[in-house]
Structure 1
Amino acid sequence: MSDTPDDLARLIHEALEIGDWTGNPETLAEQVRRLDLGLPVEDEFMVLCAWLGKCQLIHKLDQAPLPRASKGRYQVPDLMAAFSTQVGGGPVLIEVKSKNDRVLSFKPEYMEKLQNYADLVRAPLLIAWKFYSTWMLFEAKHLKKAVVNFNIRFDLAMKENLLGVLAGDQAYKIGAGAGIHLKMQKEKLIETVDGDDQTTETWQVRITEVKFSDRDGQLRDSLSSETQALLTTWHLQTIENHAEHHIWMRHVSTGDGLQFAHTALVRLLDWHLPEGDKMHWRRQFRASRITSVDDFRGALAKALDEGVVHLVLNMVPHTMPDFVQHKL
């Protein structure tokens, strides 16, 4: 596969627009490379919104408005989006931030200019906050002025999270005992190494059986492809059962933890990445298909029916905005 972006001409045009190019082709090439890499946090949020199933349109907004004097009064947010869950018409504006501190903070001048822009175009202003691997989406009005800046704590942002009711996010749990079981037949002893306290054997093996188990620990021969994909999103414990002629490798859920659909997307994409490669979010949103699971909500329902998923949660915020139609 070629590494050449399929929208190379647009990237070159953008590079020429935003840079003071002096004719050095190496400078232009570096600017194009940076644009192709994009702003990963914005690209990631766009991909997950598109994949969650309720997004009709999402795109970046031009950050170079005219006239130049407008910059003193207006700050253009990062994204504009429209979701099928909205009522009243019109898109929403989204400012994207990534911060691992438990308090997200905005300077008052910056906050005022963002709100001025939102008021001008008469659109709700939302904040998307990535905290480690977890995303939250909430109304800007929940930011409250502290001594100087406008702040919001992680716990309040989670309570007011709109990612479920607006974009379609869900939380789920794989039941204890659900997993994948591989039977490996011992074919040839390659090496035996005697240590002080133990002997280590290296075998040539062949996988002869693949089984699955549900949340009750019952073995079965098959599961739907969507449910199998869901198992790859979960941290499974590995247990080895050794016999004279074979080994069972059992990868099973302990039943601990809870996962969001949007964090599962990262695991699904990582599953197909070559070892050591990093996620290229901009190329992901240009791909015709993002993951092996097109309908995650449908996949959760099927896995619940097949006895693998134990719990599905539809999350609602403490304060329901008037532009969201609450219908799960």
Structure 2
Amino acid sequence: MEIQPKKKVEVPPDLPRLIQDVLAELGFDADAAAVAERVRRLDIGLPVEDEFAVVCAWLGKCQLLHKLDQHQVPIASKHEYQVPDLLAKFSTQTSKVPVLIEVKSKKGKVLSFKPDYMERLQSYADLMGMPLLVAWKYHNLWMLFETRHMKKTNKNFNITFETAMRENLIGALAGDIAYKIGAGAGIHLRFRKDKLLSTSNTDEGSTEQWAMTIDDVSFTDREGVFRTDLDGEVQSLFTAWDLEEAEEHTDSHVQLKFVASEGMQFAHTALVHLLNWESPNESRPHWRGLLRKEQVTANVANFSATLDKAFKQKVVSHIFHVLPHAMPGFLSPINSDGSD
């Protein structure tokens, strides 16, 4: 079966103006600049909410998550209440009450809420009797924390990247895991030299062009031992890791080695790598479309189970369950030995 490359959808450069024209036809009076700004903000805000929802669904501990309708009445209630972005319930919670989540994306190392904005969010959470959390995407990292960790400094309520990471609930609540692939584990491709096509000489040296055939694909574990029994999902872990490339030449073959080096990665960041590998022609994952899928990634059905298999097959060297500095009341306290 031949896989056809996906066609890139061209976005008209005057898309905001076209949208404004449609609104004008419908009887809405709005200037083009205001419409363009609202469309731009929607393009930033909605995909990041979809991305966080997909991440939570994929990590495996989410029982329910849905967006909350932001259209509220009476209009005057907007002065007192701010509806958060999401409502969610996780299997890790000790309480039956769901949690509310406000989703933000900011690349600066401080996330800031104005006092009136924080007050309206908290008023809604108090009205519902639910904990209020913030999901913050910082570059490619997700953090999830209680709003109580945001402290008022001068005018606004702020939280630093360091504090948000220290109080991150995405592992304890949503099921995120950090892991390491052992140095030495990797993929090895051997190309047989079938026919010399041409040779050219330059000041830098001679260059040869060969017609070659791949005659062997193999894997090594973290001890450098060649393995033929690696599970298919375990093999997929290599596509989500930065591998170092090395090349060896003999008279008959060229061998390419793609081997793991030192490092650590979170499961939720591995998700993006897996999606990019499965859809290399996409500029970015289509999170809204992924929300409708029963299985988010095609090659790994259960990431936590795959990491366990990879550890047993000596590919993964470490698995870390990262806990927050202060465990909230709606999660079980963890004893020093790691048990509940």
With normalisation by structure 2, the TM-score equals 0.85
CA distance in 2, matches of 1:132, 1:111: 23
> Does the 8 Å CA contact 2:276/2:282 hold for their aligned counterparts?
no
Q: What does 1:197-208 align with in structure 2 at a 5 Å threshold?
A: 197-208=204-215
SS in 2 for 1:206: strand
SS in 2 for 1:270: helix
Among 138, 148, 171, the alignment partner of 1:141 is 148
What is the CA distance between 1:36 and its match in structure 2?
Answer: 9.7
Aligned length: 309
Unaligned runs of 5+ in 2: 8-18, 31-35, 334-338
With over 3 angstroms needed to count, the CA separation of the structure-2 counterparts of 1:146 and 1:35, relative to structure 1, is closer
Match of 1:228 in 2: 235
Question: Percent sequence identity over matched residues?
Answer: 53
CA distance in 2, matches of 1:37, 1:284: 17
SS in 2 for 1:323: coil
What is the CA distance between 1:199 and its match in structure 2?
Answer: 1.5
Match of 1:264 in 2: 270
Match of 2:327 in 1: 320
CA distance in 2, matches of 1:88, 1:196: 72
What is the CA distance between 1:289 and its match in structure 2?
Answer: 1.7
Among 18, 21, 25, the alignment partner of 1:22 is 25
Please identify, of 53-62 and 284-293, the stretch whose mean Cα deviation from structure 2 is larger: 284-293
Match of 2:139 in 1: 132
Match of 1:192 in 2: 199
> Does the 8 Å CA contact 1:37/1:282 hold for their aligned counterparts?
no
Say whether 1:93 aligns with 2:100: yes
Q: 2:25 is aligned with what amino acid?
A: T
Say whether 1:181 aligns with 2:181: no
Deviations along 1:236-282, one digit per CA (max 9) or x if unpaired, are 0011111111111110012x211000000000000011335322110
Among 315, 320, 332, the alignment partner of 1:308 is 315
What is the CA distance between 1:21 and its match in structure 2?
Answer: 6.3
Q: 2:266 is aligned with what amino acid?
A: F
With over 3 angstroms needed to count, the CA separation of the structure-2 counterparts of 1:37 and 1:146, relative to structure 1, is closer
Among 145, 151, 159, the alignment partner of 1:152 is 159
Say whether 1:169 aligns with 2:176: yes
Unaligned runs of 5+ in 1: 4-14
CA distance in 1, matches of 2:91, 2:69: 24
CA distance in 1, matches of 2:26, 2:118: 38
SS in 1 for 2:281: coil
CA distance in 2, matches of 1:190, 1:43: 51
CA distance in 1, matches of 2:85, 2:206: 59
With normalisation by structure 1, the TM-score equals 0.88
CA distance in 2, matches of 1:226, 1:37: 33
> Does the 8 Å CA contact 1:212/1:222 hold for their aligned counterparts?
no
SS in 2 for 1:167: coil
CA distance in 2, matches of 1:160, 1:38: 24
What is the CA distance between 1:288 and its match in structure 2?
Answer: 2.6
> Does the 8 Å CA contact 1:184/1:207 hold for their aligned counterparts?
yes
CA distance in 2, matches of 1:192, 1:109: 72
Deviations along 1:147-203, one digit per CA (max 9) or x if unpaired, are 000000101100100000100000000001000001111112223222102112222
Q: 1:271 is aligned with what amino acid?
A: W
Q: 1:53 is aligned with what amino acid?
A: G
Say whether 1:238 aligns with 2:245: yes
Q: 2:303 is aligned with what amino acid?
A: F
CA distance in 2, matches of 1:37, 1:274: 22
